[in-house]
Amino acid sequence: MTKENVQGGGEEEQQAQSKKALKKQQKEAEKAAKKAEKQAKLASEQQETEEDDFAKDRYGICPMVQSQQKLDRALVRVQDLTLEKAEQQIWVRARIHTSRAKGKQCFLVLRHQQFTVQALLAVGDRASKQMVKFAANITKESIIDVEAVVKKVEQKIESCSQQDVELHVERIFVISQSEARLPLQLEDAVRPEGEGDEEGRATVNQDTRLDNRVIDLRTTTSQAIFRLQSGVCQLFRDTLINKGFVEIQTPKIISAASEGGANVFTVSYFKTSAYLAQSPQLYKQMCICADFDKVFCVGPVFRAEDSNTHRHLTEFVGLDIEMAFSYHYHEVIDSITDTMVQIFKGLRDRFQTEIQTVNKQYPSEPFKFLEPTLRLEYKEGLAMLRAAGVEMGDEEDLSTPNEKLLGRLVKEKYDTDFYVLDKYPLAVRPFYTMPDPNNPKYSNSYDMFMRGEEILSGAQRIHDAQLLTERAMHHNIDLEKIKAYIDSFRYGAPPHAGGGIGLERVTMLYLGLHNVRQTSMFPRDPKRLTP
Ligand code: ATP
């Protein structure tokens, strides 16, 4: 913040602010006091009963872990609790997912990530009455360490991911306590939409989820979505590295808007202003001019669009590709579609558990793709739409409903959820798009679609400084602002093409989800800037 800004507010405003801060402090202090009181109560309850409790050393609240000691104790992951571990004495760290006390027993479901296991604590020679009571009172979502014997169960436990075994708990310690009142219940947050209404059980709306994203991200569905999304990034990287691409990093603070003036966020930059990059476009092309031949990058992309739709964010992750080709930009289309196919295959083969987990809450058909990828010309797409009754001009861009309709028509005719639409009208593409040599109204540009929605825009780029200058002027772009970009083509530039993909859209559409906010960990849209 600049000095002016600090001093800018009036006295009244300052007073109001300090009052607010004081109130906040008081509230926080009250909260801390309450927490301390609660802990003291639990501790005193424990102490009261300690004297006549033979099991008093087998449970309790651990002092805050401040790395006081190194403990040579291996913690077994919940997902590894299988029959192989039967009869073994092990330690597990997990959250309390649910807990239910029944007479002298306490049934717990312990959860770590998307895996759950049943645990049983019963009064006996290893556990006292007080110990069972203590366990039953630990709040849901608290993190605990338990020592237990892994036992084979007679009947599969359908409600847990670890169905063949349960844990017979012998020691239980709280590592980190959760507040008792949760902003949302995890069971509600994974309930399929619609089911809640019929049976009178709750589901959780999107704003509540996003306001409490950390809790929402603990659900099995979210865990699966973001593990799969990490898979998309890894498969994208691995496939391109195998094809000889180089991963690059491009600046996100830039001096000129890459795609023209609209839709950019302006940020103050010392005594002047700068923009947040709308795409790495100009820089990845400059790397081609610098002879890197095949480059890609994964990074944030900013769009100041007031688009409150299911598929627009103001910050998303761009998976960008740029590649020099020999003679025809279709060489690049083939390389990109092959990369997408490798991603689809990798997801299908390595992420079945995650796909099925998401499908339980959001059912969808498995994603279908062809090899080689279906490529249609824009004109053909238009003809299909017109045959279905849509009225559209030759040089008009596809609206979202028409894009979706075309997706359905393509699926009916070709049975694929992934296809390329090639040769878009020049008028609807950015200034750096190479015109079609055979028809000046069209261009060497393409979009790719998943389940009828755009996931990639790309084109052969103009690699001739003079033509680029003409096209920029045609689009009324201030040449001075893109001088460095245009200059990079003055000293010889390889013919090249590329494209930009939205990561969140790929994950959303692959899984058949309906909102891009579900596939953005901390989504940014015109109405949301936190958490
Ligand atoms: P749309 O027509 O859907 O608004 P666009 O034509 O503005 O997209 P491009 O600028 O070509 O999109 O960006 C390339 C890709 O980046 C898109 O195909 C999409 O996958 C992704 N993308 C673009 N804008 C957004 C956004 N606001 N939120 C999320 N992803 C986006």
Q: Which atom of ligand 1 is nearest to the CA of 516?
A: 29
Given 3-state DSSP classes, what are the helix, strand and coil percentages for the chain, each rounded to the nearest 5? 40, 25, 35
The yes-or-no verdict on residue 7 having pLDDT over 50 is no
User: Does residue 328 form part of some domain?
Assistant: yes
pLDDT of residue 258: 57
Task: Look at ligand 1, atom 10, and give the residue with the nearest C-alpha.
Answer: 457
Q: Which atom of ligand 1 is nearest to the CA of 448?
A: 18
Spell out the residues 6+ positions from residue 512 whose beta carbon is closer than 8 angstroms to its own. 362, 363, 364, 365, 367, 451
Query: Averaged over 16-28, what is the pLDDT?
Result: 79
Nearest residue (by CA) to ligand 1, atom 12, is 457
CATH code, domain with 340: 3.30.930.10
More confident residue, 6 or 437: 437
Preceding peptide of 494 cis, ω within 30°: no
Domain check: are 375 and 458 in the same one?
yes
Co-location of 138 and 192 in the same domain: no
Q: Could you tell me if 87 and 104 lie in one domain?
A: yes
Ligand 1 close to Cβ of residue 500 (< 6 A): yes
Indicate if 401 and 445 belong to the same structural domain: yes
380 alpha carbon to ligand 1 midpoint, in Å?
A: 23
Give the pLDDT of residue 1: 39
47 within some domain: no
Residue 488 and residue 344 share a domain:
yes
The whole-number pLDDT of residue 35 equals 79
- The answer to whether residue 382 sits within a structural domain is yes
Q: Is 454 in the pocket of ligand 1 (CB under 6 A)?
A: yes
Residues 6 or more apart whose Cβ sits within 8 Å of residue 123: 104, 105, 129, 131, 132
In this predicted model, which residue has the larger pLDDT, 148 or 25?
A: 148
Residue 305 among the catalytic residues: yes
Q: Is the CB of 456 under 6 A from ligand 1?
A: yes
If asked whether residues 169 and 204 sit together in one domain, one would say no
Give the nearest ligand 1 atom to 307 CA: 27
As a whole number, mean pLDDT of residues 68-78 equals 93
What is the rounded average pLDDT of the residues 89-106?
A: 96
pLDDT tens per residue, range 252-291: 999 876 555 678 999 999 999 999 999 999 999 999 999 9
Instruction: Give the integer Cα–Cα distance in Å for 9 and 200.
Output: 51
* pLDDT for the residue numbered 15: 74
| Ligand 1 near 85 CB (within 6 A) | no
- Residue 503 in any domain: the answer is yes
Residue 312 among the catalytic residues: yes
Catalytic member of 168, 209, 303, 463: 303
Rounded Cα–Cα distance for residues 210 and 141 (Å): 18
Whether residue 499 is contained in a domain is answered as yes
State pLDDT tens for residues 206-263.
999 999 999 999 999 999 999 999 999 999 999 999 999 999 999 999 987 655 567 8
Cα(325) to centroid(ligand 1), Å: 24
Pick the atom of ligand 1 nearest to 278's CA. Answer: 10
pLDDT at residue 37 greater than cutoff 90: no
Clarify whether 168 is annotated catalytic. Answer: no
Interval 154-165 mean pLDDT: 96
Residue 95 falls in the annotated catalytic set: no
Q: Of these residues, 312, 330, 348, 528, which one is catalytic? A: 312
**Judgement on whether residues 372 and 485 belong to the same structural domain of the protein:** yes
> Average model confidence (pLDDT) for the chain?
92
Ligand 1 touching residue 509 (CB < 6 A)? no
CA of 406 to the centre of ligand 1 (A): 18
Sheet with 272-276, strands from edge to edge, namely 253-254, 272-276, 266-269
Q: Does the active-site annotation cover 505?
A: yes
Which amino acid makes up residue 26?
Q
- Given a contact cutoff of 8 angstroms between Cβ atoms, the answer to whether 144 and 160 are in contact is no
Domain presence at residue 96: yes
CA angle 22, 28, 33 (to 5 degrees): 125
DSSP 49: H
For the Cβ of 504 lying below 6 angstroms from any atom of ligand 1, the answer is yes
Determine the Cα–Cα distance for residues 48 and 52; give it in Å rounded to an integer.
Answer: 9
Which protein residue's CA is at the shortest distance from atom 6 of ligand 1? 457
In eight-state DSSP terms, residue 63 is P
Q: Is 516 in the pocket of ligand 1 (CB under 6 A)?
A: yes
Q: Dihedrals φ, ψ of 5, to 5°?
A: -60, -40
What are the strands of the beta sheet with 496-502, ordered from one edge? 246-247, 294-302, 315-324, 496-502, 453-461, 445-450, 418-422, 374-377
Question: Which residue has a Cα nearest atom 8 of ligand 1?
Answer: 454
The pick from 281, 316, 451, 503 for probing ligand 1's pocket by mutation, whose C-beta has the most ligand atoms within 8 angstroms, reads: 316
Whether the CB of 317 sits within 6 Å of ligand 1 = no
Residue 401 covered by a domain: yes
**Is the Cβ atom of 303 under 6 angstroms away from ligand 1?**
yes
CA atoms within 13 A on the CB side of 221: 23
Distance 455 CA to ligand 1 centre (A): 7
485 in a structural domain? yes
Q: Are residues 372 and 302 in the same domain?
A: yes
Contact 495, 276 (CB under 8 A): no
Give the residue whose CA is nearest to atom 21 of ligand 1: 502
Residue 18 annotated as catalytic: no
Which ligand 1 atom is at minimum distance from the Cα of 505? Answer: 20
Is 30 a known active-site residue? no
Domains of the chain: total: 3
Give Dmax (Cα) for the chain: 93
Nearest CA, atom 16, ligand 1? 502
* Residues 231 and 262 occupy one common structural domain: yes
Please give the span between the terminal C-alpha atoms of the chain, in angstroms, as a whole number.
Answer: 21
Q: Determine the pLDDT at residue 47.
A: 64
147 and 199, same domain (yes or no): no
Based on the domain organization, do 139 and 230 belong to the same domain?
no
Best of 279, 282, 311, 501 for a ligand 1 pocket test (most atoms within 8 Å of beta carbon): 311
403 CB under 6 A from ligand 1?
A: no
Q: What is the mean pLDDT of residues 142-164?
A: 97
Cα separation, 346 vs 338, in Å, equals 12
- 196 and 172 within one domain: no
The pLDDT, as a whole number, for residue 226 is 98
- Tokens 């008792």 locate to 180
Percent of the chain at pLDDT > 70 equals: 94
Domain range enclosing 429: 220-519
Atom 30 of ligand 1: nearest residue by CA position: 502
